[in-house]
Amino acid sequence: MAAASGYRAGQLRHRVAIALRQDVPDAFTGLDQTHVQSASVWAGLFPVGGATWIGSRQVGDAITHRIVIRYRPGITADHEITKGARRFRIRRVSDWEERGRWTLMDCEELQR
């Protein structure tokens, strides 16, 4: 997945949208999801291995993919990523090696 010196720009071959998810009251008694502040970026999508998936399920966060983009501050677990009809909920965000070059997001792919 990662080279010894980190990720490579050539691995970012998927165009995705990152948007802030907000829950707003609907006309009845529930909530509707809206997405604001969308940004289109190039990303690398990497399915996680079996051990990571099983370990994440045991603690309640089903991590199915690691998504990597060029460093972008301000992304939180309140954001979601879409790629076509696929949608991913961000569970954890980190700055790989704390160098401000890559943003890594551990995500759960939501049911279609």
Judge whether residue 32 has pLDDT over 80.
Answer: no
Handedness of CA 99, 93, 41, 64 (dihedral sign): positive
Judge whether residue 48 has pLDDT over 80.
Answer: yes
pLDDT at residue 43, rounded to an integer = 96
- Rounded to an integer, the average pLDDT of 43-53 is 78
What is the second-level CATH architecture of the domain 11-109? Beta Barrel (2.40)
Judge whether residue 3 has pLDDT over 70.
Answer: no
Largest Cα separation within the chain, whole Å, is 53
| pLDDT tens string 59-101 | 566 889 999 999 999 999 999 999 999 999 999 999 988 889 9
pLDDT at residue 8, rounded to an integer = 81
The overall pTM is greater than 0.85: no
Asked whether 39 and 14 are in contact (CB, 8 A), the reply is: no
Q: Any idea where the domains of the chain sit in the sequence?
A: 11-109
For residues 106 and 94, give the distance between their C-alpha atoms in angstroms, rounded to a whole number. 9
Least confident interval from 1-10, 46-55, 60-69, 93-102: 1-10
Distances (CA, A) of 106 to 13, 26, 31: 18, 30, 25
Distances (CA, A) of 80 to 25, 47, 50, 109: 19, 17, 23, 10
